[in-house]
């Protein structure tokens, strides 16, 4: 065991400085994606980090490291034997809060609240972020409270990079061939739209895009996006009596008819699904409400979509001068449907977690990952912990020690799959 008890293995202790240095460097690069963009990636600035990563991978000796036309970064770390495993993370950050001019701070945590320096209203409290209370003695990274930190998913990016750097630095450590993949636009649901699985060449993969250390995600929501377009009739408000059909009001009526005490993110937990109106745009003449529907059970997901069709039809019957059009687009499927076919992939993640001193747990994500889409398309890809917490908010935080443990898990995965017991499965 290392001298510093905050690290579960000597490898984790060795990785800590590198993963911290990389993370602080990466979060200062604005990579926020844009849901309204029609380009790919949705923002050109995502390529800024991608180009840096490609250079750093090449400097580590990964000769094929490159960024492609879509903004993906791919590279190969050749190994001794066994399958080729993929390690994947996404470079973009959420549009929910600003990702520009991130000012990270590192706080040696001794307990209690952490006041973020840029905003007096931004206070990280263990009473609200309950895992923080377990991190006394850790080095906690936050933003200044005015932006995202970017741990989702630059923690995963830094951890994979640190793990690859460790393996490149220690050629005496036998490991399987590793394919590194950094994607774009995950936060806007388009992360692997152009991901060429055959060209990537991995037998299976792991996304490093989870949260609490020790927790391996083997299940996601199944998800769809439902867009309800409301077409009314606009007339000058001074002469509109009996003529105007206000699309904004009809859109509001549609949202108002959703269940009040259930089927929403703010009223559900664990395995309960929801119908979430997350965007409304328009005018009196025309408006669009965009919903995201989620459930672990595909049958229930279809029921939620039908609920929105029924509500739209009811409003149309009540106001026959309006037209409501419902469009449904599948986003991703519950990856458990696919992962169950090859249990050894998850068993290896469990074993790697034990080897770095944690007892693994399996969990279901109330969300999705690039791995959900890749698993459906044939590249089975469960999700590994990164240590990040309070994602998509200005209170986002991560422990340096937890990132080091996650990076050590990536190292153990690469080593494990080269061992005879695992290499033949």
What is the DSSP secondary structure assignment for residue 5, as one 8-state letter? T
Side-chain-side CA neighbours of residue 394 (13 Å) = 19
Tell which residue, 220, 206, 187, has the closest CA to residue 384. 206
By CB atoms closer than 10 A (0-12, 13-18, 19+), residue 320 is exposed
Question: Taking a C-beta distance cutoff of 8 angstroms, is the pair 97, 147 a contact?
Answer: yes
What six digits make up the tokens of 71?
A: 């903004």
Catalytic-labelled residue, pool 30, 152, 186, 376: 186
Instruction: Tell me: cis bond preceding 154? Omega within 30 of 0 counts.
Output: no
Distance of CA 395 to the CA centre of its chain: 16
Which residues, in sequence order, are CB contacts of 296 under 8 Å at separation 6+?
219, 220, 221, 222, 271, 273, 334, 364
Catalytic-labelled residue, pool 92, 219, 390, 396: 92
How far apart CA 407 and CA 389 sit, in angstroms, is: 16
Which residues, in sequence order, are CB contacts of 344 under 8 Å at separation 6+?
422, 425
Tell which residue, 91, 57, 52, has the closest CA to residue 74. 57
187 is catalytic: no
113 is catalytic: no
The residues assigned a catalytic role are 92, 186
């Amino acid at each position: 065991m290392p001298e510093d008890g905050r690290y579960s293995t000597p490898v984790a202790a060795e990785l800590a400085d590198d993963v911290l240095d990389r993370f602080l460097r990466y979060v200062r690069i604005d990579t926020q994606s844009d849901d309204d963009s029609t380009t790919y990636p949705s923002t050109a600035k995502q390529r800024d980090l991608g180009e840096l990563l490609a250079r750093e991978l090449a400097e580590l000796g990964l000769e094929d490291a490159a960024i492609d036309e879509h903004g993906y970064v791919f590279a190969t770390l050749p190994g001794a034997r066994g399958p080729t495993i993929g390690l994947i993370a996404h470079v973009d950050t959420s549009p929910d809060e600003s990702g520009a001019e991130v000012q990270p701070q590192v706080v040696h945590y001794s307990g209690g609240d952490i006041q973020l320096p840029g905003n007096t209203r931004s206070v990280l409290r263990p009473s609200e972020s309950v895992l923080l209370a377990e991190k006394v003695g850790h080095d906690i990274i936050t933003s200044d409270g005015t932006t995202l930190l970017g741990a989702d998913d630059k923690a995963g990016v830094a951890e994979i990079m640190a793990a690859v750097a460790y393996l490149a630095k220690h050629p005496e450590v036998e490991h399987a061939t590793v394919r590194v993949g950094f994607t774009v636009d995950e936060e806007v649901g388009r992360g692997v739209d152009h991901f060429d699985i055959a060209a990537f060449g991995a037998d299976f993969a792991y996304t490093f895009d989870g949260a609490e250390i020790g927790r391996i995600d083997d299940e996601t929501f199944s998800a769809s996006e439902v867009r309800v377009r409301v077409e009314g009739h606009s007339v000058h408000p001074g002469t509109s009596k009996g003529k105007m059909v206000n699309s904004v009001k009809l859109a509001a009526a549609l949202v108002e008819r959703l269940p009040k005490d259930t089927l929403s993110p703010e009223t559900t937990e664990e395995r309960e699904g929801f119908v979430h109106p997350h965007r409304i745009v328009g005018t009196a003449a025309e408006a669009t409400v965009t919903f995201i529907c989620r459930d672990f059970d595909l049958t229930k997901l279809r029921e939620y979509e039908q609920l929105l069709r029924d509500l739209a039809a009811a409003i149309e019957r009540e106001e026959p001068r309006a037209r409501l059009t419902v469009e449904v687009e599948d986003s991703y499927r519950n990856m458990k449907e696919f992962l169950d076919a090859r249990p050894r992939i998850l068993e290896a993640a469990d074993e790697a977690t034990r080897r770095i001193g944690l007892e693994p747990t399996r969990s279901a994500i109330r969300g999705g990952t690039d791995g959900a889409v890749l698993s459906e398309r044939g590249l089975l890809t469960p999700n590994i912990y990164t240590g990040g917490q309070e994602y998509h908010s200005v209170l986002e935080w991560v422990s340096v020690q937890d990132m080091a443990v996650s990076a050590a898990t990536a190292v153990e995965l690469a080593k494990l799959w080269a061992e005879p017991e695992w290499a033949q499965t």
